[in-house]
Structure 1
Amino acid sequence: IKSSSENKPSGEFICPSTGKPCSCGESKFHNCESSSGAVFGECWPVSYSEIDGSFYNEKELIFPPELLLRNNLPLKLHGFGGINWFRPLKLKYLLDLKSNYPEAKLIVGNTEVGIEINFKNARYPILISVTHVPELNVLSIKENGLEIGSSVRLSKLQEFLKKVIAERDKSETSSCRAISDQLKWFAGKQVKNAASVGGNICTASPISDLNPLWMAARAVFQIIDSKGKIRTVLAKDFFLGYRKVDISQGEILLSIFLPWNKHCEFVKEFKQSHRREDDIALVNAGMRVHL
C-alpha cells in the first residue's frame, strides 16, 4: 500500500483494506472501510500493474519462489497421545516403514482417516504420509493404457484425463471420459485437491463414485509388499466386501493401470444423489458394453 506522499499508480485498483477492485482511483484520496467497520486513513490504492500476475488467473499473488526451490526432507514427528508421523521421500524407505509398522495408516489428503479419528474415535499410533514418494505420483501414458500412481490427487487426475481425451483417439478413451465425467460430481474442489486415487480405492466405500468405474473399465491394480515384490489384481477381484480389499498389512497399492478401450467398446458412469453437486451417492454404477 502506498502512502499519499507517493506518486499515484495507474491501472486497475484494489481497495487497500479488502484487496478487491474498487473505485479508489476516482479520487485523489480515499477513506476505505473494511467489512468489520474499521476505517483506513488517506492512502493510494495498489495497482494490479505493480504485480506480475500474467501467469495466474484473476491476478492472484504469485507463490513465493523461495518455497518452490526448497528441498523436501524426510520427516518424523511425535504427536499427542504417542502418535508418530512419518514422511518418507523414497519408496524403499516407505516399504521399510511398512515392514516395521504393518498396521500403520497411509495418509495423503487425510479426508478419510481424519474423519475416523475426529468423529469415530479411531486411534492410529503410526501415520505415514506418502505424498512425496515419486513412484506413487506417476502419471504416464503407456502403449496399452495409462499408469496412475496411488498418491495422485483426484484434481490432478482429472486434469490429466482431460489432456489425454483431447490428444488420443476417441475410441480409446471411453473409460477416461467416464472417469473424468464422474469426477465432476465427486465431492468439492477442496476435497479433490487433497484426496488421492489410492486412498479412495483402498477405503472401499460402498458409495465410492469411482470404484464401480475401475471395475467396469477392467483396471488393474499393482500391489507391492515390503520386500519390493509386485503383484497385480483386477479391480473386480480387489474388493472383497464392505470396506474389505485384497491387500495385506505389509502391502501397499502402488499404481493403477487403466487400459485403452477397444473398438466399439463403451464405458459409462452413473450417479444418483439428492443434489447434483457435492453430495454422496444414493446409487453409483459403472457400465461397459462391447458391440
Structure 2
Amino acid sequence: YRPIIDAFRVFAKTDNSVYTKPYLTNGEFICPSSGKPCSCGESKVHNCESSAGADTCGLHKPVSYNEIDGSLYKEKELIFPPELVLRNDLPLKLHGFGGIRWYRPLKLKHLLDLKSLYPDAKLVVGNTEIGIEMNFKNARYPIFISVTHIPELNVLSIKDDGLEIGSSVRLSRLQEVLIKVIAEREIHETSSCKAISDQLKWFAGKQVKNVASVGGNICTASPISDLNPLWMAARADFHIVDSKRNIRTVHAKDFFLGYRKVDLAQDEILLSIFLPWSRHFEFVKEFKQSHRREDD
C-alpha cells in the first residue's frame, strides 16, 4: 500500500513548507527529513487571486488527509484505508491461463474438503518457494489453495507448557512473539526460542519473512533449511489433520522422511507446531554456515 502512494508522489505538486518545521540553527533552516540546511522553509507559499484590480493573498494551507479528526498530513503518517480494514473477507475461486484454478477458503472444513477433492493441489501462503519452482524450475501446478485466511492455521498462543504455532503464521510474526517470550519467561525455558529467534535474523530478507509461513518452510523439507534442524533439536511436535478432521501428532525428528519428503498423506495438512519450553540444563544453540549468512 505505502509504495503505491510513494510512487504517485512524484506526479504531485507539493509545498515543501508543509512538510518542514522552522528549526533554525545559526540563521539557517534545517530540513527535518534530511537534517541538513535547506531553503524549502525560507518562504511561505501564497495563494494570490486578482479581484477588481487588487491582489488578495492568503497563506496556502496544507490539505487534511483525514477528514474525520482534521489531522494534518504534516503531523501524521498516512493511515491504512478504513474501507479495506472493514471489508469482509470472501472465499475466492479464480481461473487463470492454461486451466489454472486458485481457491481461497475461509474455513478449515472447506480447506480439507478441497484437499480431499484435489489431493495434488499446492497449498500457498507467501509463494516464496512455489514461485521459484515455477519461474526457475519450470514446474506447473494446475490447482492452488491459499491457506492465508484459515483461523486455525493462524493461531499463535503462549501456553503453560510451550508455544502453539499455526502453520500459516508468518515468520516475521513468529519472530516478534519469540522476542516477547524471551523477555518475559525464565531463561532456562527459552533456550530453544532464543535459538530460533537468532536464526530468523539471518533467514532471507524482511520482505520474505513478512509473507513466508512456518508451515511452508517445514513442508518444503529443504536439505538446507535454517529452521528444520532446530525444530528437531527443540523436541517440537507437528500436529497433522486429515480430511475427516482426525488429528495426529508426529515428532519433528520423525516428520522428515528423505530429500523433500515428509510424513504427510495426500489428504493431510500440517495444522500447527508445538514448541515446548526448554528444560533445566537443556541448551539449544543455532549455527549457520554459508557463503552469505543472510542468504544461502
TM-score range, shorter chain: 0.7 to 0.9
1:260-285 superposed Cα distances (whole Å, 9 cap, x missing partner) = 111111100010122232x11xxxxx
| 1:243 aligns to 2:260 (yes or no) | yes
Contiguous gaps of at least 5 residues in structure 1: 14-19, 31-42, 54-58, 281-291
Indicate the SS of the match to 1:269: coil
Query: What code does the residue aligned with 2:72 have?
Result: E
Q: Does 1:50 align with 2:59?
A: no
Matched, 1:218 2:235: yes
Q: TM-score, normalised by structure 1?
A: 0.81
Match of 1:234 in 2: 251
Post-superposition Cα deviations, 1:105-149, rounded to whole Å, max 9, x if no partner, equal 000000001111111111111100000000000000112100000
Of the candidates 122, 133, 138, which is equivalent to residue 116 of structure 1?
133
Please report the RMSD computed on the Cα atoms of aligned residues, expressed in angstroms: 2.5
* Matched AA of 1:24: C
1:218–1:3: structure 2 CA closer, same or farther, 3 Å change rule?
closer
1:174-216 per-position Cα deviation (integer Å, ceiling 9, x unaligned) = 0000000000000000000010000000000001000000000
- Whole-angstrom distance in 2 between the partners of 1:206 and 1:44: 61
2:120 and 2:95 map into 1 onto residues whose CA distance is 17
How far did 1:231 drift? 0.4
Percent identity of equivalent pairs:
77
Partner of 2:44: 28
For residues 237 and 158 of structure 2, the distance between their equivalents in structure 1, rounded to whole angstroms, comes to: 15
1:237-257 CA distance string (max 9 Å, x none)? 000111000101110000000
Distance 1:80 1:23, change over 3 A: farther
In structure 2, the residue matched to 1:285 is none
Number of residue-to-residue matches in the alignment: 253
2:161 is the counterpart of 1:126: no
Query: In structure 1, how many angstroms separate the alpha carbons of the residues matched to 2:253 and 2:224?
Result: 16
Alpha-carbon spacing, 1:123–1:2, altered in 2? closer, same or farther (3 Å): closer
Match of 2:54 in 1: none
Q: 1:44 to 1:222 in 2, by over 3 A?
A: same
Contact kept, 8 Å, 1:3 with 1:44, in 2: the verdict is no
Gaps of 5+ in 2: 1-11, 23-32, 47-58, 65-70
Give me the whole-angstrom Cα distance separating, in 2, the residues matched to 1:249 and 1:196: 20
Query: Which amino acid is 2:146 matched to?
Result: S
Greater displacement, 188-197 / 62-71: 62-71
Amino acid at match of 1:100: L
Alpha-carbon distance in structure 2 between the residues aligned to 1:70 and 1:235: 38
Q: Check conservation: 2:18, 2:74, Cα contact below 8 A.
A: no
What amino acid sits opposite 1:12 in the alignment?
Answer: K
CA 1:147–1:10: 2 relative to 1, 3 Å: closer
Task: Give the CA deviation at 1:47.
Answer: 9.1
